[in-house]
Amino acid sequence: MFVNVDGGKIYCEISDFENLKDGRPILFVIAGGPGFDHGMYKNSPADFESFAHVVYHDARNCGKSSGFDLDSCTLEQHAKDIECIRKHFGFSKIAVLGTSYGSMVAMNYAINCSKYIENLVLVAGAPSHQFLDDAKKNVEEHGTAEQIDICKRYLWDGKFTTQDQVIEFLITMRPLYSKKVKANLALNPGEKIVMDVKVSFDVLNYAFANYFREFDLVPELSKISCQTLIMSGSEDWINDPRQALIMHEKIAGSILHVFDSGHSIAVDQPIEYARVIGKFLASDVIC
């Protein structure tokens, strides 16, 4: 289904839509990137659909969503679109889970609309442009020559021009994103990494060439009043765990859970990832 916003259309899916009034929470899952569609999040190891009505959507000009000017594909507007979707379906209270860039959107939304959120989950995120400096240092210190080069060629200045370049980047960087993948490649050095994803690289480019260089949510994080869980990977190269500490310090009453993982927590620690989120959404505690 589509939600009409600002002359464009945002694609949405809601699990078990026919039974929305059965008492289960409404969980918005916000994709990362920016530029990724909702597809990979439908197969989350946490199996969110078993205990919640999950609202998936493709952000502006991503996936099946279309009709928007590229310069409207900003962090602030992505957050406002969450509110448009909530209002469209008439949800009074929602839970929100954002991963990577999705956590930045979730924070922005919570700053302005915390009263509508019952539970907020921020996975492998960062609250300001400072993440870029940390990421560049981490690649220089821990990356291979190939990884350092591909970040300079495509990522830091938003220079992707084809889908194949995005796939090349993701495959090259995969061992830094995931400790499990890195360990497996060490045991099986000839094994190839296969990535079957589609990314709206113009939306990704726009972020890195523009607002990623200046956004700063830190001064406003104290406005978030809902129950908040912050999840970080101990060896996250792009959203360094130091960013999670800042979020934890600024969001009153927040819970911080650090995993033995890279950026891809759900890949490296799928069982613990599912357990922690499930416990939090069910009872607001982490055991």
Q: Output the furthest CA–CA distance in the chain (Å, rounded).
A: 54
In angstroms, the CA 70 to CA 207 distance is 10
Q: pLDDT for 41-91, tens place per residue?
A: 877 766 888 888 899 999 999 999 999 999 999 999 999 999 999 999 999
Please say whether the beta carbons of 73 and 35 come within 8 A. no
Q: Which residue has the tokens 């600002």?
A: 6
User: Which pLDDT value is given to residue 284?
Assistant: 55
Domains and CATH numbers, the chain: 2-129+216-283 (3.40.50.1820), 131-209 (no CATH)
Instruction: State pLDDT tens for residues 202-224.
Output: 999 999 999 999 999 999 999 99
**Weakest mean pLDDT among 115-129, 178-192, 240-254:** 178-192
DSSP for 221-254 reads GGG--SEEEEEEETT-SSS-HHHHHHHHHHSTT-
For residue 199, the SS3 value is strand
Closest by CA to 278, choosing from 13, 50, 20, is 50
Query: Model pTM?
Result: 0.94
Predicted local confidence at residue 287, as pLDDT: 46
Average pLDDT over residues 180-194: 74
CA atoms in the 13 A half-sphere facing the CB of 287: 7
Quick check: 180 and 270 in contact, CB under 8 A? no
55 strand-pairing partners:
14, 28
Q: What pLDDT score does 137 carry?
A: 96
Sheet holding 8-14, edge to edge: 2-5, 8-14, 53-57, 26-30, 94-99, 117-123, 227-233, 255-259
Residue 209's pLDDT is 97
Q: Which two tokens stand for residue 73?
A: 């594909």
Q: What is the pLDDT of residue 115?
A: 92
Between 283 and 32, the more confident residue is 32
CA distance 79 to 51: 24
98 closest CA partner among 8, 220, 224, 193: 224
pLDDT bracket for residue 286 (50, 70, 90): low
d(CA 235, CA 259): 9
